[in-house]
Amino acid sequence: MHRRQFMGLLASASLAGAVIPGCARETPLRVGMIHWIGYEPLFVAKEFGWLGDSVALTRTASGSETITGLLNGSLDAGGMTLDEALRVSSQGVPLTVIAVMNVSAGADAVMVRPEITGLRDLKGRRVAVELQAVSAVMLLKVLEEAGLTRADIEEIDLPVDQHAQAWRRNEIDASVSYEPMASVLESLGAKRLFDSRSLPETIFDVLVVRRDRISQRKGALRSLLVSHFKGLNHLVRNFHDAVYRVATRQEVTPEAVRHALGTVTLPDLSTNQRYLAPEGQVDKAAGNLQALLLKEGLMAQPVDLDRLCNASFLPRSPV
């Protein structure tokens, strides 16, 4: 199970799989992503009608559905983590990153039994991790930090939404997971040993577009990003309003939304420009991720990182 799918499943599946056919003269740009706090700016924009006719935003039921849509061409663009973008690209459908939607700042965490007090204590422990999702990256980073290798631990490949169950059955000692599963485990007595606050600007959620669709859809891509930043503005500046709307959409309390927003940072336009610049943070992170994934055999072949980012669709001036 891919990252964020869990959050997606918590939400209502009413819109699941509904790819809304465009009714405009030109087929709208089809964009798919799950309901996840870091993707909320676009859904806020959709709620206020700022997407316009050129963009059709669809909520997907899971991260894997987004990936399938991009691979089979039913989607032109989507939201996913950077490592997922690299893995899709290596499967023969090159993707281009046109914006960073959020950076994990505590949303990804390693939850452990209370007796584990340090990273090195993980040695020899049963660690639940979902290798095909962003958890794998988190695990590798944690092991790197701890000076351990995958061989030093007992790796249990398990979709994140099953971690709580495994925890209760005492099948695992540690869980590499993310919000809100991390909070669920916390309520079951788990301790937060490590989280993505210690890995600043490493775990990115990005807006990607199929590279073969770029040339025909430049206008739509620009208006997609304008809508994103408009939504982001509302989320940040009209927080008193947005908190209720996000809560309604995600079917959680406003308090939970406040908490979730604390675990991600939503980069604004100028930060995006910095991230997407050549040799910028995304390029660097992608290089590291690719090396890591290749080394660990989690990715079949390398992708061309030179053309990974394209900042040309970011709005020229603040929206």
Partner 1 sequence: MKRLLLLLMLGLSMAVKAPLALAADELTLGVFAYRPVDIVMSKYQPLAEYLSEKTGLTVRLQVLGQEDMNRALAANQLDLFLTNPSHFLVIRSERSVTGVLATVLRRSGATSTASVGGVIITRSQRDDLNELTDLAGQMIASPGIHFLGGYQSQLLELKEAGIDVRRGSRIKLLGSHDRVVRAVVDGDVAAGFIRTGIIEDMLTENPRLGDQLKVLNPQNLTGFPFRVSTRLYPEWPLVALPHVDQRLVRRVAAALFSLNRNDPAARAAGIAGFAPPADYQSVEQLARDIRVAPYDQAPQLTWLDAFHQYRLWVIAIAVLMTLLLASSLWLGRKKRQLATSQRRLRRLILSWPQPMVMIRDGKFLYTNRAAVELLRYESWASLTNKSVASFLPSLQPDGLSSTGKISDTMNRVHRGAVETGEWLFQRADTSELWVEMTLAPIDGGGENEHVLLCALYDITRRKQAEKRQRLAASVFDHVGEAIVITDEHGMVVEVNTAYGAMTGRTRAQTAGRLPPLPLEEGSGVLQATRERGFWSGEFEWKRSDGPPLNLALTMSAVYDEQGNVTHFVGIYSDISAIKKQEDQLRTMAHYDALTGLSNRSLFADRLQQTMAQARRQNDHLAVVYIDLDHFKPVNDAFGHSAGDDLLVEVASRMRSTLREEDTLARLGGDEFAAIIVNVEDRASLENLLKRLLADIAEPVWVADHLVEVSASIGVALYPQTVELDGDQLLRQADQAMYRAKQGGRNGYCLFETTGIEA
Contacting positions for partner 1 (CB under 8 A) = 48-49, 237-241, 243-245, 247-248, 251-255
What residue ranges in the chain does DSSP mark as E strands? 29-33, 55-59, 77-81, 95-104, 108-112, 126-129, 154-157, 174-178, 191-195, 204-210, 264-265
H or E stretch including 85? helix 82-90
Please enumerate in sequence order all residues whose Cβ is within 8 A of that of 148, keeping only pairs 6 or more positions apart, or say none.
119, 120, 122, 123
Residue 81 in contact with residue 203, Cβ under 8 Å?
Answer: yes
Please identify, using beta-carbon distances, which residue of 64 and 183 lies nearer to partner 1.
Answer: 183
Compute the least distance from the CB of residue 232 to partner 1, in Å: 13
Please identify, using beta-carbon distances, which residue of 137 and 256 lies nearer to partner 1.
Answer: 256
Q: In what order do the strands lie in the sheet with 126-129?
A: 154-157, 126-129, 174-178, 108-112, 191-195
Please identify, using beta-carbon distances, which residue of 177 and 183 lies nearer to partner 1.
Answer: 183
Please identify, using beta-carbon distances, which residue of 50 and 204 lies nearer to partner 1.
Answer: 50
Please identify, using beta-carbon distances, which residue of 94 and 239 lies nearer to partner 1.
Answer: 239
Residue 153 in contact with residue 122, Cβ under 8 Å?
Answer: yes
Compute the least distance from the CB of residue 95 to partner 1, in Å: 33
Amino acid, single-letter form, for residue 253: T
Please identify, using beta-carbon distances, which residue of 217 and 249 lies nearer to partner 1.
Answer: 249
Compute the least distance from the CB of residue 269 to partner 1, in Å: 16
Phi-psi region of 4 (alpha: psi -120 to 50; beta: other; left: phi over 0): left
CA distance from start to end of the chain = 36
